[in-house]
Amino acid sequence: MIRRAVFVSLLVAAAPVVVAAQASHGQVVHKKTKTKTAHAAASGQLKAEDANVRQLKARVGALESQSDASARELAERDRKIEELRRQLAAEQHR
């Protein structure tokens, strides 16, 4: 009988410790879930940012190509203008 009383007393004494341990475990699980959710959100944002950067780089590449083509066209136009000026000057001196 005394053994049973001691055993019951130990169970009653240990109950708050067990409850606290379960609560602590619940908090850890909640924190892990919260961390996983935050990580997933950050990962999604990172993928979106990467896609945006790739699009911007492609746009910059296209603009640079257009700029190079425009510069070549302007240089050709300036060359033609200079040639026509020389021809005009030569005709005026005749």
pLDDT 10s digits, 32-59: 677 878 787 888 888 999 999 999 999 9
CB environment 46-80: b (16+ within 10 A), e (fewer) = eeeeeeeeeeeeeeeeeeeeeeeeeeeeeeeeeee
Alpha helices in 1-94 (DSSP H): 2-92
**Is the overall model pTM greater than 0.85, yes or no?**
no
DSSP label at residue 78: H
How many Å is the Cα radius of gyration of the chain? 40
Joined together, the tokens standing for residue 46 give 């990172």
Task: Provide, rounded to the nearest whole percent, the portion of the chain with pLDDT above 70.
Answer: 66
